[in-house]
Structure 1
Amino acid sequence: MNNMEHLFNQFLNCVTTLQEALNVSFGEALTETFDNLENGKIKVEMGAPDPKTVDQLSAMYKTLNYDKISQKDKAQVFTYLTLKAINDDGRDANQMPTPQLISIVIALFMQKLLPNRQLTVMDPAIGAGNLLYSVISQLKAANHSKDLYQLYGIDNDEEMLDLADVAAHLNNLNIELYCQDAILPWMIEQPDVIISDLPVGFYPLDENVKHFATKSKTGHSFAHLLLTEQIIKNLKPGGMVFLVVPQSMLSGKTGADFMPWLANKVYLKAIVELPDKMFKNKFNQKSVLIFQNHGENATLDNVMLTKLEGNNEEEALFKLNVKLNEWYTKTND
């Protein structure tokens, strides 16, 4: 058994022990376990957990030797446990963590397209924060750990925001989190950059979207279309957007309506189709969509259209980086 597997099992035992004692979801027990460990004290409310469980947890925490575990390992274990929480608690597939490969693709583009200055960055469908934190951690690492980013996140699920809060702390990131429906007006000033893995499906509250251009003529509207429109409405002039979107949004009947509308609203920069093998079937296939809001020094360039291809992830990323450099040089000549 390797060290990470051993650590995972130790943490898992702590979480399940607390979960049984409090009779709560795995996600709630996970958040509270890390709060207990970070604070060095087991939280007891209205007699729960009971004294016997407190003693049991104290012994388990002592064996864990939490203060001696590296921040990187803590963050990694927490990500694995978050995945288990989403599975065990029967959550929506939209709340699954975004694969690491996608965050690397977005980080590559952000390094090329964003100025090296202080930026406000937000995710209006943050979930547990996996995508945003992974991208920002890569950018910080590439910039000698310099933190140029003020982070914000929105989600309508309080339990997911609790997970996002813990994950931010474990990744040494500061973030302001807001619990709200992202289709409604935002409480955040216009951000410079938006990164998001858009939730796919129907938005049920038709009354909230009657003034949206992307609403459906009949029945419920697609949440991913509405959220893209809301992002554009709230983005700073010249601001950049990096979205993980369903392939169906960019092509076919939906794409035939949506893409001309989008091209009229913003400057398209790039569309990167993700590998087929990342998805169970062709209906789940996704792409990374990158665009810039009008205004400031925004420019209309040739759109980079490509597919992430290769025998393995390393080869696919190498090929993408070569294409990205060629496209960037050509665009900025």
Structure 2
Amino acid sequence: MEKFKKLFNQFLDCVQTLQKALNVSFTEALVETFDNLEQGKIKVENGAPDEQTVAELSKKYQALDYDEISQKDKAQVFTFLTLKAINDDGFDVNKMPTPPAISTVIAMLMHKLVKNEKIEIVDPTIGTGILLFSIISQLKALNHSKDNYQLVGIDNDEEMLNLADVAAHLNDFDIELYCQDALMPWMCSNPDVVISDLPIGYYPVDENAKNFENRAEKGHSFAHLLLIEQIVKNLKPAGYAFLVVPKSILSGKIGADFMPWLTKKVYLKAIVELPDDMFKNKFNQKSILVFQNHGEDAKASEVLLTKLDSLKKEEALIRFNVKLNEWYTKITH
């Protein structure tokens, strides 16, 4: 732990030195620091950083001995620095990375439901990529390190995509990244699987919202509802979606309008309610929603409905795994 703390502080010092010299955000300095270290040279543009900073950074980079650091440690340090970037640069709450335990639950569900063969996976709200890369790392571990995944990320925030790009490289993942509004036509092909922690809030482009059945009659529409509709439109026949969604869309007034629409379009597979203690107040509570698009190999089945116990206790995931196995056995026999 002490060794990792020392390493983190060395990287942090390099990023802050560059940030001060270039007078840029922590995020920009973080991306450029890792670019410099990967390229083995310090990028100088229009005389910045100045000669004194270049000399100072060269010493700091030398002390790091970057090439001797394991990929795992590099990726881990970058993840922690990404969390600091989101905090320091005042990113919107929707940009906050998804808690790691959620990626474990999604990986468990995917391992059961999705065939272990070459598949294209899209995250249309990829942000920093932490959720997607964590899930794929776990699936690779479960599948004897086989890399059967073609990854695509979409986001309308270029800074986020820059962070995702560095994270993909450090985790040794190939990924295509597209900077675009995910509610506009996707620039990638129709995926087998969509993974997303949906941003919650209103979609400001009313003109484009008119293209969706789940638009609001008056005022701005909910972005998360439009995104689910967009995912349904883009999924391959019989493709799967694993989504982190606000609990409010599954019941109550919103659910009463939305869920009948969704159940006509797709086959619901699972609704996993996340523990209350993961969220500061009940209005922020989320669930994992899993569905399969209609298609030749797809069919209706009993839906896995469960609520996770507090993930602070290790047994919670063991209990979930037992329920998952029992349900899967029932629907496949």
Tell me whether the two structures share a fold, i.e. TM-score over 0.5.
Answer: yes
Q: Deviations over 1:204-233 (max 9, x none)?
A: 010011021111111100110000000000
Name the counterpart of 1:225: 225
1:103 positional shift: 0.3
Work out the CA distance in 1 between the residues paired with 2:311 and 2:291. Answer: 28
Q: Which runs of 5+ in 2 are unaligned?
A: none
Name the counterpart of 1:243: 243
Name the counterpart of 2:273: 273
1:70-81 aligned at under 5 Å gives the runs 70-81=70-81
1:6 positional shift: 1.3
Runs of 4+ aligned residues of structure 1 deviating over 4 Å after TM superposition are: none
Work out the CA distance in 1 between the residues paired with 2:175 and 2:241. Answer: 18
Please tell me whether the aligned partners of residues 101 and 313 of structure 1 are also in contact (alpha carbons under 8 angstroms).
no
**Amino acid in structure 2 at the alignment position of 1:31:** V
Q: Percentage identity across aligned positions?
A: 70
Name the counterpart of 1:172: 172
Query: TM-score of the superposition, structure 1-length normalised?
Result: 0.99
**Amino acid in structure 2 at the alignment position of 1:138:** Q
Work out the CA distance in 2 between the residues paired with 1:313 and 1:46. Answer: 53
Please tell me whether the aligned partners of residues 155 and 180 of structure 2 are also in contact (alpha carbons under 8 angstroms).
yes
Name the counterpart of 1:58: 58
**Amino acid in structure 1 at the alignment position of 2:254:** T
Work out the CA distance in 2 between the residues paired with 1:128 and 1:152. Answer: 13
Q: Deviations over 1:80-116 (max 9, x none)?
A: 1111111111110111111100000000000000111
Work out the CA distance in 2 between the residues paired with 1:268 and 1:303. Answer: 6
Please tell me whether the aligned partners of residues 101 and 311 of structure 2 are also in contact (alpha carbons under 8 angstroms).
no
1:310 positional shift: 4.6
**Amino acid in structure 1 at the alignment position of 2:319:** K
Work out the CA distance in 2 between the residues paired with 1:130 and 1:69. Answer: 21
Work out the CA distance in 1 between the residues paired with 2:202 and 2:102. Answer: 24
1:311 positional shift: 7.1
**Amino acid in structure 2 at the alignment position of 1:295:** G
Residues 1:311 and 1:88: Cα distance change in structure 2 (over 3 Å): closer
1:140-289 aligned at under 5 Å gives the runs 140-289=140-289
Residues 1:311 and 1:218: Cα distance change in structure 2 (over 3 Å): closer
Name the counterpart of 2:123: 123
Name the counterpart of 1:2: 2
1:296 positional shift: 2.4
Please tell me whether the aligned partners of residues 277 and 310 of structure 2 are also in contact (alpha carbons under 8 angstroms).
no
Query: TM-score of the superposition, structure 2-length normalised?
Result: 0.99
Work out the CA distance in 1 between the residues paired with 2:103 and 2:182. Answer: 22
Q: Which runs of 5+ in 1 are unaligned?
A: none
1:7-156 aligned at under 5 Å gives the runs 7-156=7-156
Please tell me whether the aligned partners of residues 238 and 298 of structure 2 are also in contact (alpha carbons under 8 angstroms).
yes
